[in-house]
Chains A and B, each alone.
Chain A
C-alpha cells in the first residue's frame, strides 16, 4: 500500500468515527420524541474544554415503589424509565431492566444506574425514608455553554425556572434539544 493511500485510509476511518458521533446524536435529536424535564443546574465548571453546567433532573433519583418497577438494580446496570406527559414536565411511571411495552403517549428513556439503595432523604420532611431507590445517569447531564454563561444558569434570577427539552428515540437514547427558561428557549441545538 502506498504512503498516500495509507494516510488516506487513516484519515477516512478517523473522520468517519468522528462523523458517526455527530450522526448518532443528530439522529436521536431528529427522530426522538420531544420531552420536557424539570432540572436544576448544578456545579458549573470551567475546564479546559470550556464552561458547562451539570444538570440534575427530577428523574435523576427515582423511587422504585411505583407499581411495575423492577427492584434488583445494582450500580452500572442499564435501566429504562417510562415517562408520561405532564404539565409542564414529564413524569416517571416505572423503572425496568429491559425496554418495556409502552402505552400510547409514553416514552422510555435509557439510563445507567449509578447507585441503588434502600434509604432516601426526604427534603420536605428532613428525614431519611426507607424506600428502594436508584440514582440514574442518562447521558444528558452536561451542557456546554458560551464562556461565562454557566453561572447564569446555575443561579437563575428570582422567578426563573430552568427546564430542558430533550429528544428520546425509540431505543431510549436521549439528547438535549433546548434549554428553556420559564418555558422559553434560551439555547437551541442545531446541526450546524
Chain B
C-alpha cells in the first residue's frame, strides 16, 4: 500500500520537478516505470490483510453456526466437527504453503488457530468445564505460539501475543493475585521467533504487550495501597525501559537486527517518559510516605525491589558503557555525548531517590522535573539528528502533558476557578497551536533531510 501511495505521489510531483528543471521531461515515464517495478509488496500484503480478515470472519461464523445448532447433535458428532474442522484448516494451510500461496496459507493457518481457541471454548461447553477461565486463553495463546513458531507465521504469532495480553489482563484485573510475573515468561517465548525472523509487526504487538503488563503492574501496586513501594516500582520500570532503549540503540549498530531497532526505541522511549512523568509529581512522594505504615509486601519484600533497582541500574550502566564504546571519540556526535551525560545524571538521581528521606521530597520532585524537561529536549535533539520523527513527536506530546500537569499543580489552588479554567483553555489553544507548528516544522526538516521515519 505504501508503494502505490508513493507512485501516486510521484505522478503528481514529477511534472513539477520537470518544470523546475530537476528532471528531464522525457524521463518522467521511465522513472514511473522503474518505481512500479520496485513495488512488489503491495499486492501480497493486501492478500494477507484480506486473508486475515476472511479467516476471522469465517472462524466467527463457524463458531456461532455450530453453537446455535448444537442441540440435535451427539457429543461424538460435535467433537468430530470441532476436531475435523481444525485438522482440515491446518492441512489446508500446509497445502497452500507447499504450493507457494504463502499469504493465503498464513491466513488459513490463522483460521486454524482461531478454531483451536473455539474448540477450547466449545469442549468446555460440551463437558461443562467451568474452571479458571484465563487458563483457556493461555492454552490458546500457547497453541498460537506453537503454530507461529513452527510455521514461521507472523499473523499466528501476533494473534498469540494478543491472547497473551488478554490472559495477563484477565489474571491481573479479574483475579487480582498481585503482579502477574508468568506473563514475562510467555512474552520471552514469543520474543525468540520475533527476533529470529525480524518480524516488525509482531514486535509492535510484543512491545504493546509489555507496556500493558507494566501499566497493569503499576495499577496493581496503586490499588493494593503499596505506597511505600510505588516509587521503587516506577523506578524499576524506568530503568528497565531505559535499558531497552539502549538495547534499541545497540541494535541499530548490528545489521542483522537493525530493522527492529527503531521500533524498540520508539516504545522504550515512550515508557521511559511515561515513568518519568509519574515521578515528576510531588504528590507521589507525599502519597508514598503517607502510606508507609501498615502495608503488606507486594509479591516480595521491599528489599527485593531495591535489589531489582540496583540490578537494573547496573544493567543500564553496562549497556551505556557498551554504547559509549561503540563509536570512537572523534565520531561521537554531540547528541550522543549529551545523551550519555543525561543518562549519568538520571541514574544518579534515581539512586539518590531510593534512599532519600521524606524531607527531600520537594527537592527531588524539582530535580525530576528538570531531568524530565532535559530528557524531552534531548529526545527532540536526538530525533532530529538521527531522523527519527517518532521520537520528536513523542517528545512534543510528553512536553504538552507536562506543561498541563504543572499548570494544574501550580494554579489549581492559587487561581479563582473561573480564571483557572480560562487560563487552562488559553494554554491549551495557544500552546497546542505553537507546539503543533514546531512539531510540523521539525518533522518537515527531517523529511527534507531524507531520513524520516527511521
CB distance from A153 to the nearest CB of B (A): 13
Query: For residue B176, which residues in chain A have a CB less than 8 angstroms away from its CB?
Result: 75-76
Q: Which of B98, B126, B139, B143 contacts A3 (CB 8 A)?
A: B98
Asked if B359 CB lies within 8 Å of chain A CBs, one says no
**Structural contact, A15 and B130, CB atoms closer than 8 A:** no
Determine if B70 and A7 form an interchain contact, defined as CB atoms under 8 angstroms apart.
no
Q: Shortest Cβ distance from A24 into chain B, in angstroms?
A: 8
Chain A 37-75 residues near chain B, CB threshold 8 A: 48-50, 52, 75
Structural contact, A3 and B127, CB atoms closer than 8 A: no
Min CB–CB distance A46 → chain B (angstroms):
10
A6-B150, A21-B123, A139-B131 are known contacts. Are A48 and B177 too (CB-CB below 8 A)? no
Nearest opposing residue in chain B for A4, CB measure: B94
Name the distance in Å between A133's Cβ and chain B's nearest Cβ.
20
Q: Which residues of A contact B125 (CB under 8 A)?
A: 49-50, 52, 144
From the candidates A14, A21, A146, name the one contacting B124 in the complex (CB within 8 A).
Answer: A21
- Which residues of B are found within 8 Å of A143, using beta-carbon distances? 128
B260 to chain A, nearest CB (A): 25
CB distance from A112 to the nearest CB of B (A): 7
Q: A3-B98, A7-B93, A147-B70 are in contact. Are A176 and B128 (CB under 8 A)?
A: yes
**Which residue of chain B has the shortest Cβ distance to A26 in the bound complex?**
B127
Q: CB < 8 Å: which of B76, B139, B151 contacts A6?
A: B151
A residues 1-25 near B (Cβ < 8 Å) are 1, 3-4, 6-7, 9-11, 13-15, 17-18, 21-22, 25
Contacts of B150 in A (CB 8 A): 1, 6, 9-10
Say whether A50 contacts B75, CB under 8 Å: no
List CB contacts (< 8 Å) of A123-164 with chain B. Answer: 139-144, 146-147
A140:B94 contact, CB within 8 angstroms: no
Given contacts A17-B139, A141-B130, A142-B130, contact A11 B90 (CB under 8 A): yes
Taking CB as reference atom, which chain A residue is nearest B131? Answer: A139
Per-position binary interface string of chain A over residues 58-100, scored 1 when its CB falls under 8 Å from any chain B CB and 0 otherwise: 0000000000000000011000000000000000000000000
Kindly state whether residue A122 has any CB partner on chain B within 8 Å. no
Say yes or no: B147 contacts A48, CB within 8 Å: no
CA distance A48 to B62 in the complex (A): 11
**B39-83 near A? 1/0 per residue, CB < 8 Å:** 000000000000000000000000110011011001110000011
Give the chain A neighbours of B122 by CB distance below 8 A: 49
Using known A-B contacts A13-B146, A14-B116, determine if residue A21 contacts B70 with beta carbons closer than 8 Å: no
Q: A172 within 8 Å of B by Cβ?
A: no
Question: How far apart are B209's CB and chain A's nearest CB, in angstroms?
Answer: 22
* B146-A25 in contact (CB<8A): no
Cβ of A18 and Cβ of B131 under 8 Å apart? no
Query: CA–CA, A192 to B93, complex, Å?
Result: 30
Q: Contact: B130 with A139, CB < 8 Å? A: yes
Nearest CB in chain A: distance from B425 CB, A: 44
Q: A18-B123, A21-B124, A142-B130 are in contact. Are A48 and B143 (CB under 8 A)?
A: no
Given contacts A15-B83, A17-B143, contact A140 B71 (CB under 8 A): no
Check A25 against B129 for contact (C-beta < 8 Å).
yes
The reply on B121 being an interface residue by CB < 8 A is yes
Which B-chain residue is minimally distant from A15 (CB atoms)? B83
Closest chain B CB from A118 CB (angstroms): 19
Distance of A6 Cα from B128 Cα, bound (Å)? 32
Chain A 171-192 interface 0/1 with B at a Cβ cutoff of 8 Å (1 = within): 0000110000000000001111
CB closest chain-B residue, reference A7? B94
A48-B63, A76-B176 are known contacts. Are A14 and B146 too (CB-CB below 8 A)?
A: yes
Give the docked Cα–Cα distance between A59 and B175 (Å): 21
Q: Which of B67, B128, B131 has the most CB of A within 10 A?
A: B128
What residue in chain A is nearest B116 (Cβ atoms)?
A: A14
Which residues of chain A come closer than 8 Å to B68, judged between CB atoms?
Answer: 48, 50, 147
Task: List chain B residues, Cβ under 8 A from A75.
Answer: 176
A135 to chain B, nearest CB (A): 15
B119 at the interface (CB under 8 A from A): yes
Chain A proximity of B430: nearest CB distance (Å): 50
Which of B90, B123, B131, B175 contacts A76 (CB under 8 A)?
B175
Q: Which residue of chain B has its CB nearest to the CB of A175?
A: B128
Measured between alpha carbons, how far is A48 from B125 in the docked complex, in Å?
11
Min CB–CB distance A90 → chain B (angstroms): 19
Which of A144, A175, A190 counts the most B-chain CB atoms under 10 A from its CB?
Answer: A144
Find the B residue at minimum CB distance from A174: B130
- The residue in chain B whose Cβ has the minimal distance to the Cβ of A54 is B130
Instruction: Give complex CA distance A144, B129 in Å.
Output: 10
19 interchain pairs (CB within 8 A)? A1-B150, A3-B97, A7-B91, A9-B146, A10-B147, A14-B146, A17-B143, A18-B82, A26-B127, A48-B68, A76-B176, A139-B129, A139-B131, A141-B130, A142-B130, A144-B128, A147-B68, A147-B70, A190-B75
Q: Please provide the 8 A-B residue pairs with the shortest distance between their CB atoms, ordered closest to farther.
A: A7-B94, A142-B130, A6-B150, A146-B71, A192-B76, A25-B127, A139-B131, A139-B130
Please report B residues at the A interface, Cβ cutoff 8 Å. 63-64, 67-68, 70-71, 74-76, 82-83, 86-87, 90-91, 93-94, 97-98, 116, 119-132, 139, 143, 146-147, 150-151, 175-177
- Beyond A6-B94, A17-B120, A139-B130, 5 additional pairs, beta carbon < 8 A: A11-B86, A13-B146, A14-B143, A18-B123, A21-B124
